[in-house]
Amino acid sequence: MSRLAVFRLIAFIALAAALPACTHASALLPVGAAAPEVEGRDAQGAVVKLSAQAQAGRYAIVFFYPKDDTPGCTKEACAFRDAFDRYGKAGVTIFGVSRDSEASHHAFREKYTLPFPMVADPSGAVQRAYRVPDGFPGVAKRVSFLVGPDGKIARVWPDVDPGVHATDVLGAIDALKGKSS
């Protein structure tokens, strides 16, 4: 190896060591951070705000998903729908967030009878506020945040299995409330 190659390798290693580690999970809004406002429409078209849930002493799950009416996103949304009564009994509001439009959310909600508020975030402002990366350009990665009654992030799921996630979240809420799952 030439001296120049060795010098470049040493310089690269030194630069890499000096940069802060930034992984997918560490870049997300962390546990303990204040949750940014989220505002969505429920199945009746009424506006529901995350801040109002905190004021009422309720937990909320804010789940980011890539795209309305795609296989994994449909599975995840329907799992939350199927557990909706259990969430209500636990005092938890569900917010589904994607970069899709209000019209797309309306069609998705109607097709699958989704009862929870859905947040249209076509500009990506909510996604950026929660520091959720793109799965691919213009589409949020599948990530969820549990917001406590204090309005702060209580738990983060950086990698979500859409088939079991709704049940996992309920278990985490039970654990946070001091109940057995």
At residue 102, the 3 state secondary structure works out as: helix
Joined together, the tokens standing for residue 44 give: 């009746």
State residue 67's pLDDT score: 96
Q: Which pLDDT tens digit goes with each residue over 154-180?
A: 999 998 899 899 999 999 998 988 854
What's the whole-number mean pLDDT along residues 64-80?
A: 95
Domains of the chain, by residue range, sit at 29-176
**So what's the architecture of 29-176 in CATH?**
3-Layer(aba) Sandwich (3.40)
Q: Which residue has the higher pLDDT, 141 or 181?
A: 141
Percent of the chain beyond pLDDT 70? 84
Query: What span, in angstroms and rounded, lies between the C-alpha atoms of 48 and 50?
Result: 7
- Specify whether the CB–CB gap between 42 and 114 falls below 8 A: no
Joined together, the tokens standing for residue 120 give: 């249209």
Range with the poorest average pLDDT among 10-19, 45-54, 97-106: 10-19
pLDDT tier at 21, thresholds 50, 70, 90: very low
- Specify whether the CB–CB gap between 25 and 158 falls below 8 A: yes
What's the whole-number mean pLDDT along residues 29-56?
A: 89
Query: What span, in angstroms and rounded, lies between the C-alpha atoms of 35 and 151?
Result: 6
The residue from 35, 48, 60, 73 that is catalytic is 73
DSSP 21: P
Catalytic residue status for 73 = yes
Q: Which pLDDT tens digit goes with each residue over 122-150?
A: 999 999 999 999 988 889 999 999 999 99
State residue 54's pLDDT score: 81
